[in-house]
Amino acid sequence: MRAAAISMIMLAAPLAAAPADGVYDGFDCAAPVSDQRVTLQGNRIVYYETSCRLTDPQTVEGWQSATLYWADCRGEGQDWRERTLLMTRMGGDLIVIGDGWAERYAPCPNLQPRLD
């Protein structure tokens, strides 16, 4: 019975190695407010004025720390869908790559993710 339960848990786990939940910032984690701050929690990534649900995670062959998603986003009164790649690099930085852009965010270990 216990082996069956463990098997079920393993099957329910995501196949992709997603970056760690947390708060990240492009410039200064100590600033009280930053338009370069990103919160990653579960299947959501939240920017200053945009929130996205991350769906359909897919591993990127040969890139152990990268996961490709569909991001269903809403911000400034608009909705859109785009491909988004999330990956981590040594030191824990979060790399976010979209079509024609890429950003690096440093982890903010003293800040806890708080999403509504």
pLDDT tens figures, 6-17: 333 333 344 445
Indicate the pTM of the whole model.
0.79
Half-sphere exposure of 64 (CA within 13 A, CB side): 2
User: Taking a C-beta distance cutoff of 8 angstroms, is the pair 58, 67 a contact?
Assistant: yes
Lowest mean pLDDT among 2-6, 39-43, 88-92, 104-108: 2-6
The pLDDT, as a whole number, for residue 75 is: 95
pLDDT at 82: 96
User: Does 108 have pLDDT greater than 70?
Assistant: yes
Q: What does the alpha-carbon distance between residue 41 and residue 27 come to, in Å, rounded to a whole number? A: 20
Q: What mean pLDDT comes out for the span 90-102?
A: 93
CA–CA distance, 84 with 96 (Å, rounded to integer): 7
Distance, CA of 58 to CA of 50 (rounded, Å): 23
Write the CATH number of the domain with boundaries 17-107: 2.40.128
